[in-house]
Structures are given as C-alpha cells and as structure tokens.
Structure 1
C-alpha cells in the first residue's frame, strides 16, 4: 500500500518552485523510515544525518536553539 505521505513527497520533489522540506509529526510514526525510503527510491545518493545522535551536527545548531523558544 502506497502511503499518502509518500505521494506528497513526490509532489514536493516534482514542484519546480519547491522550498526546503521540514517533516513534523508525532514520535514513532515512521517519519525516518519514510524519508529514507523516499531517498532510496527517488535519488541516486542520499545523506542521512541525525542531529540528535551526531554531536558535531547538534553543536552546529546550538546557537539557534534559543532563537525559536518563547522568551
């Protein structure tokens, strides 16, 4: 069964005026699987970076963490 979310990713990919993609959602619903599967099927190569588990990536965004919280 093809997921609705996968079809929406295809629409995003095929839109010539697409903007950066942000995928939000509840925990444990398949976001990571979906994006990895989409990358594998639709692109020749994919880079997967988990910012929660990669210290260098977590540190790259440290200065921005407070910018989006209520003061």
Structure 2
C-alpha cells in the first residue's frame, strides 16, 4: 500500500530546516500505518508516541 503521503514524508525528511512531525486527521484513515511504514523504510530507529485519550 504505497500512498502519496509517503512521497510527502520523504520530502519532509530531506528538508534541511524541517520541524518535528505531528500527524493529525480523521479516525481510521491510515495515519498510524503510514507513519510506521515510513519509519520502518526510512530510519534505523523510530519512536512512536500516541496521545490518544479516552476521556
């Protein structure tokens, strides 16, 4: 499952002045999947932090 988002994430990665990444969006659209896939393919180590709150 390759998406246009992978291309955008690679562009972000290659920027010299990039800022930290925060993915936000509707539920169940593939945010977690795309981030894990990108991390697995582009970096040796990845930190995944979920700020999900069930309040």
Pairwise TM-score range, normalised by the shorter structure: 0.7 to 0.9
TM-score norm. by structure 2 comes to 0.82
CA RMSD, 1 decimal: 1.5
Q: How many residue pairs are counted as aligned between the two chains?
A: 53
1:19-54 Cα shifts (integer Å, max 9, x gaps): 11121111000000000000000000112222337x
Unpaired segments ≥5 residues, structure 2: none
**Higher relative contact order (CA closer than 8 Å, sequence separation 6+):** 2
- Flag structure 1 segments of 5+ consecutive residues without an equivalent: 54-71
More helix by share: 1
TM-score under structure 1 length normalisation: 0.66
